[in-house]
Amino acid sequence: MAKKVVLGFSGGLDTSFCVKYLTEDKGYEVHSILVNTGGFSEEELEKIEQHAKKLGVKSHKTINAVKNYYNSIIRYLIFGNVLKNDTYPLSVSAERMSQALHIAEYAKQLKADAVAHGSTGAGNDQVRFDMIFQIMIPQLEIITPIRDMNLSRESEIQYLKSKGVEMNFAKAVYSINKGLWGTSVGGRETLKSRETLPEEAWPTQVTKTGSEEIKLTFQEGELVRVNDQKFNHPTEAIQFLQNIAAPYGVGRDVHIGDTIIGIKGRVGFEAAAPMVIIKAHHALEKHVLSKWQLQWKDQIAQFYGTWLHEGQILDPVMRDMEAYLESSQRSVTGNVYVLLNPYRFSVVGIESQFDLMNSAFGSYGEVNASFTGEDVKGFTRIFGNQTVIYHMIRESLSNGSH
């Protein structure tokens, strides 16, 4: 009986090669799975399934993981205002974690003998997939034909043609990976340090002009309304906001960062909704959280984002940090007003019943209603006392040495 292998399948060149190679050259019974994290239309999913079956898979499964992706990962990226290197909202790295977890669960359900993915040996994804599989399904063999044989794109194409496979082998000028939390864009420009992506490279073209103010309503840190429109789930609010903001060309940038494998990597991304949400959410937090809540949350969130990016979603410390991030959102409720313009946006202001910038306690730089000038004199003397002593001792020692 043929061994059963579960293959993470996208329908592209690498995973198409994997199906043919594993079925015809290695004799495996291949069960393909596509985990949709918000990057595919129903028509695209149908075409990918047909392609998988035509290649010879025993079965193909499509999992709609959009809501689970949000519930288990994205909400914490929002709570933490997570931007890798203060730039990148972890669009692809977060996605891969969700996909790997679902693939591993499916392999368990099918009682597979092995699991496979189409990662090359030159990127982060190989580590992310391998790590999840080694933790969740350690008894299964991990098969990675593209990496193991160090295959070039040309050799994959020749192989598939020799097997009679008909598909579009023309390489797109730009590599696009779309998901709920943003779209990555890679091309010849991102392989260099000096160049940036041209206008035509971006998946969403700028079609809106002028200014538009929008209202985002958060409830305990989660986006629940956009312009007073309610949604059944925050994922719907994210997609609705994306449709409003993306045609302004906001949320575009090119990120340079450290990869898991020790080299610098550069990628463009388009993430209108994620960037607007994170900046709006952060503005609301600055009004409703205390100084030390903000400071500790920033430190935890930075580590959380880095550890997620490096594939460590199953480290138990992640659950501890998620508990803190969730606890920090108890007062993060209110409206945030954002002004959209072509290629830029700005946070106008907020409204919240938890706003700590309350005129009843005074107005900064103008009127104080909480304490007297004498109170400040005493407070300042005590607050700086240790530093005063330090400098007095230093000065006395210096004078005594002359």
Give the pLDDT of the chain (402 residues) as one tens digit per residue: 899 999 999 999 999 999 999 999 999 999 999 999 999 999 999 999 999 999 999 999 999 999 999 999 999 999 999 999 999 999 999 999 999 999 999 999 999 999 999 999 988 999 999 999 999 999 999 999 999 999 999 999 999 999 999 999 988 789 999 999 999 999 999 999 999 999 999 999 999 999 999 999 999 999 999 999 999 999 999 999 999 999 999 999 999 989 898 999 999 999 999 999 999 999 999 999 999 999 999 999 999 999 999 999 999 999 999 999 999 999 999 999 999 999 999 999 999 999 999 766 555 556 677 788 899 999 999 999 999 999 999 999 988 755
Phi, psi dihedral angles at 389 (to 5 degrees):
-60, -45
**pLDDT score of 367:** 66
DSSP 72: I
302's tokens: 């930075």
**In what helix (H) or strand (E) does residue 298 lie, and over which residues does it extend?**
helix 291-309
Q: Does this model's pTM top 0.85?
A: yes
DSSP 88: B
- The CA distances from residue 315 to 11, 131, 167, 312, 388, in Å, are 31, 11, 40, 6, 45
**pLDDT score of 119:** 95
Contacts of 376 (CB under 8 A, 6+ apart): none
Neighbours of 39 (CB within 10 A): 18
- The CA distances from residue 38 to 42, 51, 370, 374, in Å, are 11, 20, 50, 59
Contacts of 68 (CB under 8 A, 6+ apart): 98, 102
